[in-house]
Amino acid sequence: MDELVTLIRNSMRMKHSALDEAIRNNIESAVADMVRVGVQPYSDKENKILKDDSLIRKATELYCKADFDYLGKGLQFEASYEKLRDSMSLSGDYNE
């Protein structure tokens, strides 16, 4: 998960790690939301390792940007996250 935290921090142009815990919490919330709609973001049976998948990474990034209201465009990022999450839930590749 540390790689994903770094990826998201870099995507928001943060040069510090002061918000890493908040980013981790948002990643966990995004994952829980994806699971809620039937998306399986984990690659292991214990649900501890996130898939190394570009769409899972992008969805968590969008979720974080929405929560942080990045660039004042939180609603746009939220809508993008929801569209991506919903399309993954309809895809057989991401269902449990």
Angle between helices 2-11 and 54-67 (to 10 degrees): 60
Bridge partners, 42 (sequence order): 50
pLDDT exceeds cutoff 80 at 46: no
- The verdict on residue 51 lying in a domain is yes
- The verdict on residue 35 lying in a domain is yes
Q: What is the predicted pLDDT for the residue at 30? A: 96
Q: Which domain holds residue 51?
A: 2-90
Split into its structural domains, the chain has a count of 1
- The verdict on residue 42 lying in a domain is yes
- The verdict on residue 95 lying in a domain is no
pTM recorded for the entire structure: 0.90
Average pLDDT score, the chain: 92
pLDDT exceeds cutoff 80 at 6: yes
Q: What is the predicted pLDDT for the residue at 92? A: 85
Q: How far apart are the first and last CA of the chain?
A: 21
- Residue 74: pLDDT band (50, 70, 90) is very high
